Each structure stands twice: as C-alpha cells, then as structure tokens.
Amino acid sequence: MVIEVANDPMLAFWEQGKNVLGKPLVEAVPELASQPFLTILAEVFTTGIPYEAKGARADLQANGQLNTFYFDFTYTPLRNADDDVYAVMAMAVDVTEQVISRQQLEASEAFARNLFQSSPVANLVLLGEDMTVQTINEGMLQMLGRDRTIIGKPLMEAVPELQPTPLLERLRHVLNTGTMYHQPEEQISLVRFGQPYTGYFHYIYTPFIDTSGLPSGVVVTAIEVTTQVLARQQVEESETRYRQLSQELDLQVQQRTEELASANAELTANNEQYAAINQKLEEANSLLIRSNENLQTFAYVASHDLQEPLRKIQQFGDLLHTQYGPYLGDGIDYLERMQLAASRMSTLIKDLLTFSRISTRRDTSAPTSLNDIVASVLIDLELPINEREAQVSVSSLPTVSGDASQLGQLFQNLLSNALKFRREDVVPQIMVRSELVLATKLPPSIKPTRQTPAYYQIDVTDNGIGFDEKYLDRIFQVFQRLHGRKQFDGTGIGLSICEKVVTNHGGAITATSQPGQGATFSIYLPV
C-alpha cells in the first residue's frame, strides 16, 4: 500500500513529513510491519468491505522511541467508475487519553470491588425504596446467616425476621435525607442458617450517592459486639456484687470497731502498746490505700484516657475506609496500617492493665479446684478449639490454695498459646496432666518462692511449632516475642503474666521444647 495523500494530523501521528508521499506505508512507518494494520488494509482493498475499530492499540515512534497510542479509525475503500477499488481512505482519531482514563477507572472499580468483598468488616449495599440487596460481602452473609441467593431481593424478603424492627424505617430515612445514621450496640434477633440467634451489633448507614449526585441507596457497615457487651454486663454485675459486699464488710468493720473500742476501755493498762500497734496499722493502711489509688489511677488511664482516643481512631478510620477508600489510591495502605497499629495498641494497653492487676498480690489461701478452672477456660475457648478441630485431653487436677481469677488467667494464656502456635495442616493436640512431686525431686532450675515439702506439677503439652530452648529465659520476659506479628499476633505479655501468677502463688514455671516438636509448660504449685 502506497501513501497517496496524508494530511498534517496523520503525518503528525507518524512523526513524518510530506516526503513520505508516494512511498509504501510499511517503508514510511516501519513499526507497523509487526502490527495488524497492513493486513487489515489489504483485506479492505481486496474485499471492498469497510473496516472500523474503536480504541485500537497502535505502537508508533514518538520522540525517538516506540510508544503506545489508542485510536478510533476507519478504513473506507474508494471505487472508480467501474466500481473497482483503487485506494483505501484511512481516518483516525487519537483517543489515547480517553482509553487510558477508562482503563484506570476500570482498575479502580475492580480494586474497590475486591476491597469491599475482602473487607473483614460486614458490608452491604441496598438500592431503592424497597432496599434491594445489590452487593454483599462474605462478612455480612455470615452475620445474617444467609447465602448469595439473597442478592437482588428486597431486604425484608431476604431477612424477614427484621420486619418488626425499625431498621427499614431508618434505612429509608437515610435514603430520603442523604444523612448518615449511626447505632451502637443494638440488640437484634436473627435466624442464622435456620437457627434463632440474638446478638448485639454496632452499625452505620451511609447514603450511596449515584452519578447524578443524589442518594439512590444505602451502604450498611456492621460489627458484632455481642461478646464485648455480655462481658461488660458481667463486669457491671460483678461491680454491683462488689458494692454489696463492700457495704457488708463496712458494717462488719464498724461492728468490730465498736467491739474493739469496748475492749480497749477494759485494757487501759496496755494502752501504749495498742497505740504503737495502731500506729503501724495506720501506716500500713495508708500505704495500702496509696497503692490502691495508684492502681486505680493506672486502670482509669489505661481503660479510658488511652483507650478512648484509640477507639476514635479506629472508628474514624473505619468511616474513612468505607466512605473514601476508593478515592485514596496508595493512601489506602497507610490507612490500613494506621488501623492495624491502633488495634495492636489497644490490645497492648489491655494486656498491660491485666499485667498490672496480676502484679497486685491477692489472697491466695482459698481452696481452688483446678478442674473447675480449666473447665471454665475450655468453655471460653470453645470457638477457637472447634475452628481448629483441636483435641484437648485433661486429666484429674488437684485443688490448690490460690486466687481463682489469677489461676484462670494462667491457664487461659497457656491454652490460648497452645492453640495459636500450631503447625500448619496438623490437628492441634493439647494435654493437661498433673502429678505430686517431692521438693527433693524438683529440677535444679526450679526455685519456688514458697518452700513446702511437696509440689503439684501441672504440665500443659502441645504438638505445635515449639521453640529453641536457648530462648527459655526470654519467653517469660515482658514484650519478648520469638515470632513476627505477621506470623502470630500478640503483645509478648502473656507468658510474663503466667510467671507472675505462679510467683504470686509461691510456685515456679518452666518449659521444655524443640522446634517443630511442640512444647510442654510445667507449673509447680505448693501443696
């Protein structure tokens, strides 16, 4: 095909001058030789059938190097008086910017869809007055107890148990006003996969704005907080019982004080001795009060002054992620890192608070059944045990003198670690055993803080990833971790809490392990 006529825009596409007129096209624009255009031209010339393409890619020389462009073009056969094709007219429009913009938009939309579907937070998009389910991610399907057959159905048809609730009215209010609605900790009854379920949920309704700039639907973001609400209610009930007990103790103290006052009148001869004793008691009580005040101050700071800003960061981070995630570009990575860091900080503060409370010595003289303690812990861990299909075997355990709360924390941490540090594709096997050991038979490295003739040895054994025993001293130190956060989450405080609990009870703790062979944590408690 020889170039007969070419206008200035076409010559500019080729980066050529008028000197190419009369030359073969492949000679004038050699980069076309490996592209389909010459073949298409030949077919149009041969068949006489016009050819049209939209957004076709063409690699052309620009500024001395080969660059990619996109064109809308047509090849039209030109005929003579005998209706024979004697030439082909090529017309092209450069649509490179439009094609690249469209490709970027498609990539952005695909990224947003993937982000929506893979989000760990439950998400749902509803359209229209009847709130038809348009898009839903796996987290929301699990929360509602439904499958993807609900897509395309009105919400109240897909989840009919929500009809008696004000949810539909609130959704329509958001749709009609374009204002966001936020509801924390609402109790909602569902039928999850055919089973009745009542839980507490924190959710946000955000208007879905269409291309016209008007709300056409609602984006629902939800988090289940049942565990947290029930735990708080238990704490509130415990506080109520504590206040009642405190009042009873105050009454007993008052009665006892009156008795002591009466006795003191009869023991005037020993007044100086009692005065000295009372002075020491007052000093001890003052020291105890100051210690308790310091602990209460720390607990308040950890649970309110530090936790509240973190909750705000997490809440606004979630809102930012939901509403502006598709527009943040590379910034979404920084947002997700911020949210992850805030979550880790919250966990760290809670663990530090637990560690500080464990560090406060309590009455460890009450008879405490370790059978009951471990059974209660296994109930709390029922979900991760079932998820990992773990096999847990517990032998008969002794009753020891101790604080039930602290001992519960001890076994909670050890059993949680046994579930967490498991090997891939290996069913976790956990055993809890006990035996009586004479003090003279203790390993040389075991130094209990209270000396007794005998000790209970309780072993918690797993078949997990294990560790090198050269790190034995390190694992019981605060903030010490043998693995990165990407492998296993945590703050590095759990085993420090275990050691503190055992020390408070006059005992000792150690461990034996090999990498890939599991681990055994041995606890020694006084008989």
Residue 307: predicted pLDDT: 65
Task: Based on the fold, state whether residues 162 and 218 are members of the same structural domain.
Answer: yes
Whether residue 380 sits in one domain with residue 513: yes
User: What is the per-residue burial (b if ≥16 Cβ within 10 Å, else e) of 198-229?
Assistant: ebbbbbbbbbbeeeeeebebbbbbbbbbeeeb
- Percent of the chain surpassing pLDDT 90: 57
Q: Which of 313-317, 320-324, 465-469 has the lowest mean pLDDT?
A: 313-317
| Lowest mean pLDDT across 77-86, 357-366, 455-464 | 357-366
Q: Do residues 331 and 425 both lie within one domain? A: no
pLDDT, residue 305, reads 62
Domain of 304, in residue numbers: 267-354
Q: What is the mean pLDDT of residues 113-124?
A: 76
Over 50: is that where the pLDDT of 64 sits? yes
For residues 26-50, give the mean pLDDT.
95
Domain match, 409 and 472 both: yes
Q: What is the mean pLDDT of residues 18-22?
A: 93
Running DSSP on this structure, what letter comes out for residue 162? G
Domain count, the chain: 4
How does residue 126 score in pLDDT terms, banded at 50, 70 and 90? very high
**Averaged pLDDT, 51-77:** 94
Taking the CB of residue 180, how many other CB atoms lie within 10 A of it? 14
Q: Are residues 136 and 175 in the same domain?
A: yes
Residues 6+ apart with CB under 8 A from 3: 20, 21, 22, 23, 24, 25, 28
**Shared domain check, 378 and 342:** no
Question: Which amino acid is present at 41?
Answer: L
- Of 63-77, 325-339, 419-433, least confident by mean pLDDT is 325-339
How confident is residue 484, by pLDDT bands cut at 50, 70 and 90?
A: very low
Closest Cα to residue 375, out of 391, 392, 350, 359? 392
Is 475 contained in some domain?
A: yes
- The reply to whether 288 and 427 lie within a common domain is no
Q: Are 497 and 409 in contact (CB under 8 A)?
A: yes
Residues 159 and 128 placed together within one structural domain of the fold: yes
Q: Would you state the pLDDT for residue 273?
A: 78
The pLDDT value recorded for residue 272 is 76
Reduced to 3 states (helix: H, G, I; strand: E, B; else coil), residue 426 is coil
Task: Specify if 235 maps to a domain.
Answer: no
140 & 204 share domain: yes
The last residue of one of the domains, among 224, 256, 291, is 224
**Residues 459 and 383 both lie in one domain:** yes
What is the pLDDT, as a whole number, of residue 316? Answer: 78
Give the DSSP letter string of 92-155: EEE-HHHHHHHHHHHHHHHHHHHHHHH-SSEEEEEETTTTEEEEE-HHHHHHHT--GGGTTSBH
- CA 332 – CA 321 distance, rounded (Å): 7
Q: How far is CA 286 from CA 247, 292, 360, in A?
A: 20, 10, 16
| pLDDT tier, 303 (very low <50, low <70, confident <90, very high otherwise) | low
Give mean pLDDT, residues 401-409: 89
Residue 326 pLDDT level (bands cut at 50, 70, 90): confident
Of 55-69, 77-91, 231-245, 331-345, where does mean pLDDT reach its minimum? 331-345
Residue 2 lies in a domain: no
- Out of 69-78, 249-258, 333-342, give the one with best mean pLDDT: 69-78
Residue at 173 is within a domain: yes
Looking at residue 458, what is its pLDDT? 97
Asked if residue 302 has pLDDT above 70, the reply is no
Q: Which of 177-186, 273-282, 457-466, 495-504 has the lowest mean pLDDT?
A: 273-282
In a domain, 260, yes or no: no
Q: Report if residue 248 sits inside a domain.
A: no
Is it the case that residue 285 has pLDDT exceeding 90?
Answer: no
375 in the same domain as 311 = no
Q: In the predicted model, is pLDDT for residue 113 greater than 80?
A: no
For the residues 221-241, what does the mean pLDDT come to?
93
pTM, 2 dp: 0.39
Residue 163, both tokens: 């009809």
Position 71 in a domain = yes
Residue that finishes a domain, picked among 94, 111, 133: 94
518 confidence band (pLDDT: 50, 70, 90): very high
- Computed on alpha carbons and rounded to an integer, the radius of gyration of the chain in Å comes to 37
Over the chain, what is the mean pLDDT?
86
Statement: residue 460 has pLDDT above 50: yes
* pLDDT of amino acid 103: 84
Q: Which residues pair with 153 in a beta bridge?
A: none
The pairing of strands 367-369 and 195-209 is unpaired
pLDDT of residue 278: 74
372 with 506, same domain: the answer is yes
Answer whether residue 1 is part of any domain: no
Amino acid at 188: I
